[in-house]
Amino acid sequence: MASVAQAANDPLDPAPMSEPVQVRFDPAARQTTVSGRAASDLCFFLSLPDEWRRTETVIKAVSSDEELSVGLRSAQDLRDMPQPDLASRDAAALQQDYEELLGRPAQSVSLSSDAGATRWSATWIDPNLPTASHALTVETLIVPLAGKWVLELSLSGIETRSAYNALAQHLLARLKVQSGPACQG
């Protein structure tokens, strides 16, 4: 499997969260809760199996090299994109960001929808890339939040495609979005 990179980290994250993502481990439940706020009245919560900790740039599993990058992008920032829906516009923006960073178009791009999220994936092949396959694959799960924001979830450091898919399904199945007074304070 080609290396899976993080798509929501600096310098590509044009709309950083207004406040940091909170990460809390519950030892009794053996799960980590991640919460964040897109706006004063819009927040999200998700859970990860086992213990994870926040670093400067990502949320990292304590017992492995697995990492989760969480990003937000405003629908307002995507309003000029021609795609028909918010998730597709965000995927197009992510692709533009990476193509500008890498200086060329991807050799392969896919976009699929599943469980309320859109999975964007792009691969670049270059003999100068440091991986054995000379490929870089970037994948992000895009989840629209109340039509005003998109949540970008990028996983990396996962050993196999099946483990990646299982963790992605775990994240999406436990993702909760709340709006209004539930997000105050």
Helix, strand, coil abundance in the chain, percent, nearest 5? 20, 40, 35
Q: What is the dihedral of CA 157, 94, 143, 17, to 10 degrees?
A: 80
Find the helix or strand (DSSP H, E) in which 98 lies.
helix 86-102
Annotated domain spans of the chain: 3-183
Read off the pLDDT band of 14 (50, 70, 90). Answer: very low
Sign of CA dihedral 162, 48, 153, 138: negative
Read off the pLDDT band of 184 (50, 70, 90). Answer: low
What residues does 176 pair with on adjacent strands?
A: 45
How much is the average pLDDT of 20-38?
92
Read off the pLDDT band of 5 (50, 70, 90). Answer: very low
What is the full DSSP assignment across 36-78?
EEEETTEEEEEEEES-EEE-SS-EEESSSS-EEEEEEEEGGGG
Q: Percent of the chain having pLDDT more than 90?
A: 59
What is the full DSSP assignment across 111-164?
EEEETTEEEEEEEEE-TTSSSTT-EEEEEEEEEEETTTEEEEEEEES-SSHHHH
Mean pLDDT of the chain: 85
How much is the average pLDDT of 20-41?
91
pLDDT in tens, 75-109: 999 999 999 899 999 999 999 999 998 888 999 99
pLDDT in tens, 131-154: 788 888 889 999 998 888 999 999
Full-model pTM: 0.85
Read off the pLDDT band of 59 (50, 70, 90). Answer: very high
* Residues 91, 110: Cα–Cα separation, whole Å: 10
* Residues 147, 157: Cα–Cα separation, whole Å: 31
- pLDDT for res 185: 52
> Is the pLDDT at 42 greater than 70, yes or no?
yes
* CATH no. of 3-183: 3.40.1000
